[in-house]
Chain A
Amino acid sequence: MELLSLKGVYQTFPIREKELVILDNINLFINEGKFVSMVGPSGSGKSTILRIIAGLLNPTSGEVICKGEKIKGINPYTSMVFQTFGLLPWLDVTENITIGLEARGMPIKERLRKAFKYIDLVGLEGFEEAYPRELSGGMKQRVGIARALVMEPDLLLMDEPFSSLDVFTAENLRSEIINLWMSGKLSVKSILLVTHNIEEAITLSDQVIILTSHPGRIIGNINIELERPRVRESVEFNNIYDKIYSMVIGSTVATKEVKPLQGT
């Protein structure tokens, strides 16, 4: 079943009397039960697409449809995990996780019940009363993940969630996310992850959408049917890696030859 679709989405940005095209005719569909990644070089507008899906940004034209509804303003079926965590330093872990529920007007008892469920699921038990300054990057991102999950979205959006973490921490969090996803304990129906790390995309996803830059355009959409847990050393894994890698690199080179880069 289709959970989300983007139809003919354009995003332009005025710069010195010219319209800089950030996203050029983006059409995509996400079905329920899928872990989807978007990969592409910087400037491919992948984070912009996430913001449009979340309703944080209105596209210049085109539409976002989620659960059959045309989205105007904030998309109530999504929540987001950010690269830089976005925690409030003056709130402890539990308060950071429940702040969104509080904004929804949920009574405190209910808020705490939900918070503890997700604190447990993401392994934050024992850290409930810690403040962000006491936490390592990995623990901060667990708070970021719990804060998004507690809203019980249909679609979880993740914007480069592991890229500001060291390799070990990222490795661990990736394996935990996939375990959670496979466990069936989440209300989340689908996940859309933005990353520039192709290996990460293949390790995690059922489907990888490949973007090119300047302007952002979708140039590929690959289904990945490898069994989990996925072995990076396997031939199949490497074949998919090479395929995506050459698409990303190929497109970048081609674009550079045709016209000079615009913007960053």
Chain B
Amino acid sequence: MDVSPLPYVEIGKLLGMLVYLEDLDGKTDVYAISDDMGLEMDELVNIIKVAELLGFVEVKEGDLYITEIGKDIVYGDENRKKTIFKRAIKKLSHFRRLVGALKHSQDQSIPKSKVLDFLLEEMSEDEANESLKSIIELGRYAELIGYNPESKELYLDKVDEE
């Protein structure tokens, strides 16, 4: 069991942070961004955390660097961005396990409430809710996991397509 809470970040903000960073030649002081962007530190930290988890940035001694994958996202078209995202989130334990569970479930879908229960075994209620929201946001963008708000079910989107 190694599913840690996944902070919720908006895809647009994450992508924008990469564009911003690349505009600064791929490197900046973490504290400078917060001042420059008028973002709450908490939110910025979450954006950076998720970007780092996905391998798009690296943080070294208070400086933020864009990685080659991060650059690839900045300059890629929409489909390229999504392909890179999909490859990156597939490596996260949250998605690996969820994809595994979805593959083995009937009609490859699982009710949202069950996914939440599963997350609750590992973390607090707030964290589980936030993680689920993040999984849906990232999963939808990458077209790995879909979520149908009518049936309240998560399902496998286009899992093996690279």
Contact = CB atoms under 8 A, between A and B. Distances in A.
Interface in B121-159: 136-137, 139-143, 146-150, 157
Interface residues of B, number: 34
Interface residues of A, number: 31
A139 B143 contact: no
Nearest to A185: B77
A167 B82 contact: no
Contacts of B139: 126
B78 A123 contact: yes
B78 A168 contact: no
19 contacts: A125-B78, A126-B141, A126-B142, A127-B140, A130-B147, A134-B136, A136-B10, A136-B12, A137-B10, A137-B12, A139-B12, A166-B16, A166-B37, A167-B38, A167-B39, A168-B13, A168-B16, A171-B16, A231-B23
Interface of B: 10-17, 19-20, 23, 37-39, 47, 74, 77-79, 81-82, 136-137, 139-143, 146-150, 157
A183 interface: yes
Interface string A110-154: 000000000011110111011100101111000000000000000
- Which of the listed residues B11, B14, B141, B142 has the most CB atoms from chain A within 10 Å of its own CB? B11
Contacts of A170: 16
B19 A123 contact: no
A146 to B, nearest CB: 11
A134 B149 contact: yes
Tell me whether chain B's interface is mostly helix, strand or loop, or mixed.
helix
B16 A169 contact: yes
Interface of A: 92, 120-123, 125-127, 129-131, 134, 136-139, 165-173, 175-176, 179, 183, 231-232
A96 B137 CA distance: 19
Given A136-B12, A168-B12, A179-B77, 20 more contacts: A123-B141, A125-B82, A126-B139, A127-B141, A129-B148, A129-B149, A130-B140, A130-B149, A134-B149, A136-B10, A138-B13, A167-B20, A168-B13, A171-B16, A172-B16, A172-B19, A173-B12, A173-B16, A176-B78, A231-B23
